[in-house]
Structure 1
Amino acid sequence: MAIVKMKKLRVIAMADHREELLKGLLKLGCVEISEPDDKLADPAWAALLKCGTSALAETRTELADVNTALAAIKRYGQVKDGLFIQRKAVSEQEFLGSESAERAKAASQRVGGQLQELSRLQAEETRLLSRQAALRPWVPMDLPLEQEGTAHTVFRMGVCPGTTDTGAIRTELAAADAAAELYEINADKQQKYYLLILHREEEEKVQEILRPFNFSATAFQNVTGTAAENVEQLDKLLAENRRRQEEATAAIVQSAEDRDALRMYVDRLNSEASKETGAERMLTDGTIVFFEGWVPAEKLRQTETLLEKLGCAWDAADPTEDEIPDVPVQLKNNWLTKPLNMVTEMYSLPAYDNVDPNPLMAPFFILFYGIMMADMGYGLLMILAGLIVGKKYRPKGTMGHMFGLMTLCGISTFIMGAITGGFFGDFLTQVVKLTTGGDFALPSLFTPLNDTLMILVGAMALGVVQIVTGMAISFVRKIKRGQYLDALFEEVTWWVVFAGIGCMALGVTNLVLYAGIVLILAGPIITGKGFGKIMGIFGSLYNHVTGYFGDILSYARLMALMLAGSVIAQVFNTLGAIPGNIVIFIIISMAGNALNFALNLLGCYVHDLRLQCLEYFGKFYEDGGKPFRPVAMQTKYVDIE
Structure 2
Amino acid sequence: MAIVTMKRLRLLAMREDREALLDDLQRLGCVEVSEPTLDGREEESGAAELLSHLTPPDAQALSQAQTRRQEAERAMGILKHYGAKGRGLLTPRPQTSKEELCSPQAAARQDQAVAGVLAEERQVNALLAQGEKLASQRAALAPWLALDVPLESRSTPSLLVQFGTLTAARPFEEAAGAVQAASELSELREASAGRELRYCLLVCHVSAQEAVLEALREFGWSRLSMDGWTGAAKENDQRLTREQEENQAKLQQAREALASMGDRLDDLCRAADRAALDIRREEGRIKLRDTEQTFLLQGWVPAEQWEKVQAALERYPCAYELEDPAEEEYPQVPVQLKNNWFTRPLSMVTEMYSLPAYGTLDPNPLMAPFFILFYGIMLADMGYGLLMILGSVFVLKKVRPKGGMWNFFALLGLCGVSTFVMGAITGGFFGDFLTQLTTVMGMETPIVLPALFTPLNDTMMILVGAMCLGFVQILTGMAISVVQKLRAGKFMDALWEEITWWVVFLGLGLMVLGVTNLVLYAGLVLVVAGPLITGKGLGKITGIFGSLYNHITGYFGDILSYSRLMALMLAGSVIAQVFNTLGAIPGNVVIFLVISLAGNALNFALNLLGCYVHDLRLQCLEFFKTFYVDGGRPFRPIDLTTKYYDVVK
Q: TM-score, normalised by structure 1?
A: 0.94
Which residue is equivalent to 2:447?
440
Deviations 1:566-622 (A, max 9, x none): 111111112222222111111111111111111111111111111111111111111
Q: Could you tell me which residue of structure 2 aligns to residue 575 of structure 1?
A: 582
Rounded Cα–Cα distance in structure 1 between residues aligned with 2:453 and 2:324: 54
2:63 counterpart of 1:44 = no
- The alignment status of 1:22 with 2:27, answered yes or no, reads no
Partner residue of 1:219? 225
Deviation, 1:28, is 0.7
1:558 to 552, 557, 565: 565
Matched, 1:584 2:591: yes
Which of 402, 410, 413 is the equivalent residue of 1:407? 413
1:327-383 Cα offsets, whole Å, 9 max, x none, are 100111111111111111111111011111111111111111111111111112211
Question: What CA distance in whole angstroms lies between the structure 2 residues aligned with 1:538 and 1:111?
Answer: 74
Pair 1:626-2:633 in alignment:
yes
CA distances 1:164-214 after superposition (whole Å, capped 9, x unpaired): 554554565566677655444334445443344444433333333333443
Q: In structure 2, what is the equivalent of residue 201 of structure 1?
A: 207
Q: 2:265 aligns with which of 251, 259, 263?
A: 259
Task: Return the alpha-carbon distance in structure 1 between the equivalents of residues 475 and 166 of structure 2.
Answer: 83
Q: Distance in 1 between matches of 2:624 and 2:427?
A: 33
Secondary structure at the counterpart of residue 30 of structure 1: coil
Aligned to 2:323: 317
Letter in 1 for 2:11: V
One-letter identity of the residue aligned with 1:370: G
Aligned mates of 1:230, 1:368 — CA distance in 2? 77
SS in 1 for 2:322: strand
C-alpha separation in 2, matches of 1:608 and 1:558 = 9
For residues 9-408 of structure 1, what are the structure 2 equivalents within 5 Å?
Answer: 9-36=9-36, 43-54=48-59, 55-83=61-89, 86-148=92-154, 154-160=160-166, 163-166=169-172, 168-170=174-176, 172-173=178-179, 180-408=186-414
Query: Residue 459 of structure 2 corresponds to which residue in structure 1?
Result: 452
| TM-superposed deviation, 1:289 | 1.2
Would the alpha carbon gap of residues 213 and 89 (structure 1) be closer, same or farther in structure 2, given more than 3 Å must change?
same
In the alignment, is the contact (CA less than 8 A) between 1:383 and 1:411 conserved in 2? yes
CA contact (8 A) 2:183 2:211 kept: no
Aligned equivalents of 1:380, 1:513: Cα separation in 2:
47
In structure 1, what residue type is equivalent to 2:56? C
Q: Secondary structure at the match of 1:462?
A: helix
In structure 1, list runs of 5 or more residues that go unmatched.
none
Deviation at 1:407, TM superposition (A): 1.2
- C-alpha offsets along residues 405-444 of structure 1, whole Å, 9 cap, x if unaligned? 1111111111111111111111111111111153332111
- Name whichever of 627-636 and 115-124 sits farther off: 115-124
Corresponding residue SS for 1:33: strand
1:616 aligns with 2:620: no
Q: Where does residue 7 of structure 1 map in the other structure?
A: 7
CA contact (8 A) 1:77 1:252 kept: no
Q: What amino acid does structure 1 have at the position aligned with 2:573?
A: S
- The answer to whether the 8 A contact 1:160-1:214 is kept is yes
**CA 1:404–1:186 in structure 2 vs 1: closer, same or farther (change >3 Å)?**
farther
Q: Secondary structure at the match of 2:164?
A: strand
Q: Deviations over 1:74-116 (max 9, x none)?
A: 2223435544564111234323333322210111121222222
Contact persistence 1:31–1:295 (CA under 8 A): yes
Which amino acid is 1:444 matched to?
A: A
Return closer, same or farther for 1:465/1:171 CA change in 2, 3 Å cut-off. farther
**Counterpart position of 2:523:** 516
Distance 1:320 1:152 in 2: 96
TM-aligned CA distance change 1:355 to 1:157, over 3 Å: same
Amino acid at match of 1:507: G
Deviates more, 1:619-628 or 1:536-545: 536-545
Is 2:583–2:595's contact at 8 Å kept on the other side of the alignment? Answer: yes
How far apart are residue 534 of structure 1 and its match? 2.0
Contact between 2:151 and 2:232, CA under 8 Å: does it hold in 1? yes
Question: Which amino acid in structure 2 is aligned with residue 282 of structure 1?
Answer: L
What displacement does 1:11 show? 0.9
Q: Find the aligned partners of 2:194 and 2:417 in 1 and give their Cα distance.
A: 68
Letter of the structure 2 residue corresponding to residue 95 of structure 1: L
Indicate conservation of the 8 Å contact 1:329/1:351, yes or no. yes
- 1:245-268 superposed Cα distances (whole Å, 9 cap, x missing partner): 333333333332122222123222
Whether the aligned pair in 2 keeps the contact of 1:12 and 1:289 (CA below 8 Å) is yes
Answer yes or no: is the 8 Å Cα contact 1:30–1:630 preserved in 2: yes
**Pair 165,100 (structure 1): closer, same or farther in 2 beyond 3 Å:** same
Mark the CA change 1:18 to 1:203 in structure 2 (over 3 Å): closer, same or farther.
same
Identity of aligned residues (%): 53
Q: Which moved more, 1:331-340 or 1:225-234?
A: 225-234
Alignment partner, residue 549 of structure 1 = 556
Report if the CA contact (8 A) 1:85-1:395 is conserved: no
- 1:490 aligned residue: 497
User: Retained in 2: the 8 A contact 1:263–1:637?
Assistant: yes
| Corresponding residue SS for 2:451 | coil
CA drift at 1:143: 2.5
Q: Are 1:534 and 2:535 counterparts?
A: no
In 2: Cα distance, 1:597 partner to 1:287 partner = 64
User: Cα RMSD over matched residues?
Assistant: 2.3
For structure 2, the residue ranges without an aligned partner over 5 or more in a row are none
SS at match of 1:159: strand
Residue of 419, 423, 426 corresponding to 1:417: 423
- The question of whether the paired residues in 2 share the 8 Å contact of 1:143 and 1:226 is answered with yes
Give the residue type in structure 2 aligned to 1:270: A
Greater shift after overlay, 411-420 or 180-189? Answer: 180-189
Q: Does 1:602 align with 2:586?
A: no
- Amino acid in the other structure paired with 2:21: L
Alpha carbons of 1:258 and 1:80: their partners in 2 closer, same or farther (altered >3 Å)? closer
How far has the Cα of 1:558 moved from its partner?
A: 1.1
Cα distance in 2, alignment partners of residues 503 and 191 from structure 1: 96
Deviation of the 1:151 alpha carbon: 7.3
Evaluate the alpha carbon distance shift between residue 453 and residue 270 of structure 1 in structure 2; reply closer, same or farther with a 3 A threshold: same
SS in 2 for 1:490: helix
Distance 1:609 1:436 in 2: 44
Q: How many angstroms apart in 2 are the aligned matches of 1:269 and 1:294? A: 24
Q: C-alpha displacement at 1:388, in angstroms?
A: 1.4
The whole-number CA distance in structure 2 between the counterparts of 1:407 and 1:444 is: 23
Does the 8 A contact of 1:31 with 1:630 survive in 2?
A: yes
CA 1:187–1:13 in structure 2 vs 1: closer, same or farther (change >3 Å)?
Answer: same
Are the structure 2 counterparts of residues 137 and 366 from structure 1 closer, same or farther at C-alpha, using a change threshold of 3 Å?
A: farther
Q: Report how many aligned residue pairs link the two structures.
A: 641
Instruction: Name the SS for the 1:146 alignment partner.
Output: coil
